[in-house]
Amino acid sequence: MRRIEQRGQAITVELDGDPVPAFDGEPVALSLLAAGETVFARSIKYHRPRGPYCFAAACSHCLMRVDGVPNIYTCRIPARAGMRLERQNAYPSVKVDVFQSIDWLFPRGLDHHAMFAGVPVAEQVMAKVARHLAGLGLLPDKPAPDRMPCETLRVKVAVAGGGASGSSAAARLAAQGVPFLLLERDPFLGGRRFSAPDLPRDQVRLRTPVIGLYEDDAGWYLAAVSAADASEPRLLKVYAERFLLAVGGHPPTLPFENNELPGVFSGRAATSMLRRHGLLIAEEPALVGRGPELAELQRLLESHGAKIAAVVDVDGDAKDLKAHGRNKVNGLSFARRGRRKKVDCDAILVSVPISPSFELARQGGARVSWSPPHRTFVVEAAADGRTHAAFPLYVSGELTAPHAPEESAKSGELAADAIAREARP
């Protein structure tokens, strides 16, 4: 991996007591990858090596202890000078973990529930061992701070998600004079467009992930965690007359052997690291997946000097994929036309259509159904984004189907226009 461009102020963070160079504000997981650190943790049961995959807080492979607090998504937290990072779920260290012997001792899997079942003393000992080995990390160094009081807001339109769709919808609402509040979990707007329209600052909350859509006696509201000040997060309740959900989705993976090895990344993660942060994640990656984003990813990487080891379209005749490597990917093999082929590579990038994050819409009563053409669950909605919920709930962007950024932006504008027409007195 190689930094194409250095962005921000150079700082130093600490990983297991050792200094690591970084740039202020970039995801600290990216800082570690750029420094050559690929193993971030060990899996819970078999203690296999783990490294970041999605860069969207949709997997658990990048969890670390950060400044004494366990289980932090390092792909989402910005690097800052003096930050203390500790790898967890291993003994004595992630690189030399004695518990990885479990994987060797039980090559066909281990069911600790059934082990020694019916043998009184041994059964009790096994249950106690399982309880001690279960879970992630250790308790924090110090008690959590007192909870901040909940903040309650009432707005005309609440928009969840500030990617291509949500930010375009908000711009359209602003242009038509419709008051709104946009909530976005990232510290920036625009998502995959890597640019965003100018929006009124007092109508945008960054670093504010939405965690639920609920109803109480006062009506429907979005529950969010307002974390602009990371040291004092607070619950935010946003009541609105109309809601627009534009939260996109998360990158799924493909089922192939060793697909959890460090060095396997989602294609969108690789794209974001390169375009937003200037890090080329691999010099000779193998690309696997399906759909138009696979070819787009290849063009992007090659334009920055990467040499593609192989492009494997799983909708074609490639079968039985397998990642090779012990603690990091060093190869990919697959069968094609009856012959098995293996290529050397320094990463495997998985590019498949997004899996919509439909949970919020479902909480609000929207219908969710399986879409055979897209091979995923999507939110059912009219052309303007109106769902079947009992209150004005709209969706846009990739909640209804995988979209290119321009398509997502257009769907956000259509939903905003429909909301504006409804909101007029």
> Regarding predicted confidence, which is higher, 425 or 156?
156
What is the 8-class DSSP label of residue 283? S
Q: Fold for 2-102, please state it.
A: Ubiquitin-like (UB roll) (3.10.20)
Please check whether residue 374 is in contact with residue 312, taking contact to mean a CB–CB distance below 8 angstroms. Answer: no
Q: Which positions ≥6 away from 118 have C-beta within 8 Å?
A: none
Round to whole Å and give the CA distance between 8 and 249. 28
Residue 364 to residue 332: CA distance in whole angstroms = 43
Higher-pLDDT residue of 44, 49:
49
Pick the CATH number of 264-351 from 3.90.1170.50, 3.50.50.60, 3.30.70.1710, 3.40.50.300: 3.50.50.60
Same fold across 151-250+357-423 and 264-351 = yes
Per-residue pLDDT for 157 more than 90? yes
Over its C-alpha atoms, the chain yields an Rg (Å, rounded) of 23
Element (H, E) at 103: helix 101-105
Residue 425 is predicted with a pLDDT of: 64
Residue with tokens 């669950």: 377
Q: CA-to-CA distance for 197 and 412, rounded, in angstroms?
A: 13
Query: Model confidence over 381-413: pLDDT tens digits?
Result: 999 999 999 999 999 999 999 899 999 999 999
* pLDDT of 230: 53
Q: CA 394 to CA 416: how far, in whole Å? A: 9
Domain 151-250+357-423 has CATH 1.10.760.10: no
Which residues lie closer than 8 Å to 99 by C-beta, 6 or more apart?
42, 47, 90, 91, 133
Write down how long the chain is. 425
Scanning the structure block, which residue is given the tokens 């919020």?
360
Query: 349-370, pLDDT tens digit by residue?
Result: 999 999 999 999 999 999 999 9
Please check the confidence at residue 414 and state whether its pLDDT lies above 90.
Answer: yes
DSSP for 378-399, please give it. Answer: EE---TT-B-SSSS-EEE-GGG
How confident is the prediction for the chain on average, in pLDDT? 92
Q: Mind listing the pLDDT tens digit for each residue in 257-290?
A: 999 999 999 999 999 999 999 999 999 999 999 9
Of 225, 222, 221, nearest to 206 by C-alpha is 225
CA-closest candidate to residue 275, choices 12, 80, 5, 84: 5
Q: Percent of the chain having pLDDT more than 90?
A: 75
Please tell me the pTM assigned to this model: 0.92
Q: Is the peptide bond before 92 cis (omega within 30 degrees of 0)?
A: yes
Distances (CA, A) of 313 to 294, 307, 336: 8, 17, 11
> Which candidate, 178, 192, 175, places its Cα nearest to that of 270?
192
**Helix, strand or coil, per DSSP, at residue 223:** strand
**Best CA proximity match to 335, nearest among 323, 321, 352, 314:** 321
Buried b (16+ CB within 10 A) or exposed e, 183-205: bbbbeebbbbbeebeebeeebbb
C-alpha span between 298 and 271 (Å, rounded): 10
Instruction: Summarize the confidence of residues 52-71 as an average pLDDT.
Output: 93
Q: Residue 273 in contact with residue 186, Cβ under 8 Å?
A: no
Rounded CA-CA distance 230/334 in Å is: 45
- Sorted by where each begins, the domain ranges of the chain are 2-102, 151-250+357-423, 264-351
Closest CA to 219 of 238, 247, 244: 238
Residue 12 vs residues 15, 31, 83, 239: alpha-carbon distances, Å: 10, 10, 8, 42
pLDDT at 129 over 80: no
- State the Cα–Cα distance between residues 67 and 28, nearest whole angstrom: 13
